[in-house]
Structure 1
Amino acid sequence: MNYERKVDSMDSLAGSTQSYYEQADGRRKRTWMIVAVVLIALALAATWYAFNSSKGAADGAAATAAAGGAAVPSITVVIPGRQSVQAAISTNGTIAARREMPVGIAGEGGQVVRVLVEPGQWVGAGQPLAVIDRSVQTQQAASLSASIRVAQADADLAQAELTRADALVSRGFISKADMDRKRATRDAANARVRVAQAQYAEAQARNGRLNIVAPAAGLVLTRQVEPGQIVGAGSGVLFRMARGGEMELMAQMAEADLQRVRVGTRATITPVGSNLNIAGQVWQVSPIINPDTRQGMVRIAVPYSAALRPGGFADARLVSGTEEAPLLPESAVQSGPEGNFVLIVDGKDTIQRRAVKVGTVTDGGVSIASGLAGNEKVVVLAGAFLNVGDKVKPVVQKSSQ
């Protein structure tokens, strides 16, 4: 009996525990369901609020724009007028010797014994540049010198015999015919002396031409000979010189620019890779135009400078006088695929685009060669942020004079 009651009480306790856990699980599920419903409701409320706010702002902006409340930007403009500016032409070209002197063999040539100069060295007129072996020619000259003395001795003997014979003519010991022969012998001997002297002078002149000498004072540019080399009349140019060291810039210019250049036009030369400004002057303008390139040659004389090397490249700026043209700040001129342009404000205060051709660039600004009359309202700044047709409020700025 007691055992059966104990088992029943244990079964009753187990059933109560299981019921307790089932009730706890049910409460947890209900709690999570309530939390999920609340979160969904909050999300829907936030979405509705955001939608209504953006719609209200858009409606407000549209209403403001419709009411004409949009601000018109103030833009600084300048009326450039026309000012006197220097007409400058920019070009470039190749440096060359103004008067290049090729030096070669003037005589019969031979083997070079010594070379006396190097490129970059200054030489005087007639100064030897290279010495050619003259051992054979020297002996020939000595032989001719001796022949002069022989001929002179014969001439002296003939003159002495003629003098003695002349003293005997009056006494009748020598006929006039003999006197004529002695006179002829004397004259022939004197002629042989002159021939020997001429031959010796010729040999001396040939020997003097063996050396390679500078035809005029100047700067040695190149050297194409070495000691031991055999040279002759067909050896070509052995040295190149610039007479007086004078240089020039040979620049190709467009046909239109060529019309503005005259002999004597001032120029400033800047060699590539340097900041030097070397003063020059146009000394020759080509009388013809290349029909293929439509360009002509302008030659600008430049004094010697160590920065100028024949064959090098240089920029040039030619000042061809003054001209009347609109002058704008550099910030007013813009460039695009079609070329340079400016933005102007028309009579209705709207932005318009005007193509221009840039002239001289100076410290005061950029001159406009064509495209502007000078009475336009040109946008000075903020051109990159404006579009054609934009409405603006122009604020006129005084043009710099």
Structure 2
Amino acid sequence: MNRETSFSSSDTLVVVDRSTRRRNIIIAAVVGIAVLLAAFLIFGRGGDEKAAGAAGAGPGGGQVPTVTVVVPGRTQVARAIAATGSLAARVDMPVGVAGEGGMVASVLVQPGQWVGAGQTLAVIDRAVQARQTQQLAAQVQVARADAALAQNEFERSESLVGRGFVSKADLDRKRAARDAATARVRVSEASLAESRARMGRLDIRSPAAGLVLERNVEPGQVVSPGSGALFRVARGGEMELKAQLSEADLVTLKVGAPASVTPVGSAQSYAGSVWQISPVVNMQNRQGVARIALPYNETLRPGGFASVSIVAGSQEAPVLPESAIQSDDKGNFVYVVSKANRAERRPVKTGTVTPAGIAVVEGLSGNEMVVLRAGGFLNPGDRVRPQRQKN
């Protein structure tokens, strides 16, 4: 039993020694492979970085930035003129006392109410004028009766002339009396018509259909032709904007040009058109007035302030996004990339703002490579690597 135990122990030791040796070999192989892989990655990446650095280095050894550029070309854009002004009634009709006046008996309308042509706005007491009219009407009746009597006497005398009972001289007197009575009838009728017209003018009426803007009279107030405007009516409810424009802008405008008006404090715009351009320019501020007609809308109130954009024709111009246009104390400018891949500052003048961007009316032909972004980090003369914008 001792011999078998000794043999088993010796065999076990041999097996253990061989397993340990194999495991050590495998571990050494794995470690060697890992070291080789790490060395390859380190030295390979360093070579690539050196190559990239050599490719991206500038003349001074620095990095050359990559900038996104675009060639804008030229696009047909509308030329818009921006201005401000005050709202007013297109035809503002002041309504006052047309007759001799008197005490106001009643006022029939309120501001904001629509009225028709000839509609009564207020009534002045007419008790005295009514009595005078009645008296003149009675005088007309008397004159007509006198005229009828004179006509009958003339006809009887005319029938008796042939018999010799009435002389021709008497007939002539009868004819003259008849003509005078007829004339007195016409005078009386004219006086009656005048009195009725005067009494009718005691009704203050609207000269045209429109919207009542102001009411400056109350019942019991005594008014006369010198009392001024008792009402203000906007004919047809039409409004307008009196836009103040520079002398240069007035030259480019034409009657009928479309416009968009935005009242102060409102996000809504209203379409209108230029219906009149001032024929004179103010000598102090060198500005003129363009009057823009607007249809009635309850949010357009005379006396309010509004801004307007007037379309004054169209033009071809490069259109750039807002990010491409820089600004400083010298004005607006962009950076363009030269053939030598250098950044060049280019002063520009901007125009209409469109949904596609801002039109550049001066400074660019449209064939340049314009830096879209990062212009604020460039300086004139910097070397750059241009990259076209992807659509």
One fold, TM greater than 0.5?
Answer: yes
Q: Which structure has the larger Rg?
A: 1
Q: What is the aligned-residue RMSD (CA, Å)? A: 2.1
Q: What is the TM-score with the length of structure 1 in the denominator?
A: 0.79
Shift of 1:208: 0.9
Equivalent of 2:283 in 276, 291, 296: 291
- Indicate yes or no: 2:324 matched with 1:324: no
Q: 1:225-258 CA deviation, whole Å, 9 max, x = no partner?
A: 1111111111111111111111111111122222
Equivalent positions of 1:260-279 (< 5 A) are 260-279=252-271
1:243 counterpart (231, 235, 238): 235
Provide the rounded CA distance (Å) in 2 between the counterparts of 1:223 and 1:240. 7
Q: Secondary structure at the match of 1:75?
A: strand
Query: For 1:303 and 1:324, how far apart are their aligned partners in 2?
Result: 32
Gaps in structure 2 of 5+ consecutive residues: 1-53
For 1:99-152, what per-residue CA distance to the aligned partner results, in whole angstroms no more than 9, with x for missing partners? Answer: 111111111111111111111111111111110010000000000000011111
In the alignment, does 2:216 pair up with 1:254?
A: no
Amino acid at match of 1:326: P
Match of 1:308 among 297, 300, 318: 300
Query: Which position in structure 2 is the counterpart of 1:206?
Result: 198
Please show how residues 149-164 of structure 1 align to structure 2 within 5 Å: 149-164=141-156
* DSSP 3-state at the match of 2:104: strand
1:16-35, aligned counterparts within 5 Å? none
> Residues 79 and 397 of structure 1 are in contact (CA less than 8 Å); yes or no, is this contact kept in structure 2?
no
Q: Which residue of 2 aligns with 1:219?
A: 211
Query: Unaligned 5+ residue runs, structure 1?
Result: 1-63
Alignment equivalent of 1:99, drawn from 60, 82, 91: 91
1-structure distance, mates of 2:59, 2:195: 111
Asked if 2 retains the 8 angstrom alpha-carbon contact of 1:218 and 1:241, the reply is: yes
Query: How many positions carry a matched residue from both structures?
Result: 336
- Give, as a single letter, the amino acid of the residue that structure 1 aligns with 2:356: G
Question: 1:123 aligned to 2:106?
Answer: no
Distance 1:189 1:389, change over 3 A: same
1:81–1:373 CA contact under 8 A, matched in 2:
yes
Q: Distance in 2 between matches of 1:119 and 1:375?
A: 60
> Runs ≥4 in structure 1, deviation > 4 angstroms?
64-69
Measure, in 2, the Cα distance between the counterparts of 1:293 and 1:372.
Answer: 32
Q: How does 1:163-182 map to 2 (within 5 A)?
A: 163-182=155-174
Looking at structure 2, the residues matched to 67 and 147 of structure 1 have their Cα atoms a distance apart, in angstroms, of 117
Contact 1:223–1:238 (Cα < 8 Å) also in 2: yes
Tell me if structure 1 keeps the 8 A contact 2:58–2:383: no
With over 3 angstroms needed to count, the CA separation of the structure-2 counterparts of 1:190 and 1:372, relative to structure 1, is: same
State whether residues 264 and 305 of structure 2, in contact with CA within 8 Å, keep that contact through their aligned partners in structure 1: yes
* Alpha carbons 1:265, 1:318 under 8 Å: kept: yes
1-side partners of 2:221 and 2:234: how far apart? 24
Q: Distance in 2 between matches of 1:103 and 1:337?
A: 54
1:232-285: CA deviation from partner (whole Å, max 9, x where unpaired): 111111111111111111111122222221111111112222222221111122
Match among 328, 338, 360 for residue 346 of structure 1: 338
Aligned-partner residue type, residue 208 of structure 2? A
User: Quick one: percent identity of the two aligned structures?
Assistant: 60
Q: Deviations over 1:350-380 (max 9, x none)?
A: 3332221111110011110111122222111
Which amino acid is 2:284 matched to? Answer: D
* Structure 1 residue 69 displacement after superposition: 5.8
Q: TM-score when scaled to structure 2?
A: 0.81
The aligned amino acid for 1:249 is L
Other structure's SS at 2:227 match = coil
SS of the counterpart of 1:263? coil
Distance in 2 (CA, whole Å) between partners of 1:395 and 1:255 is: 44
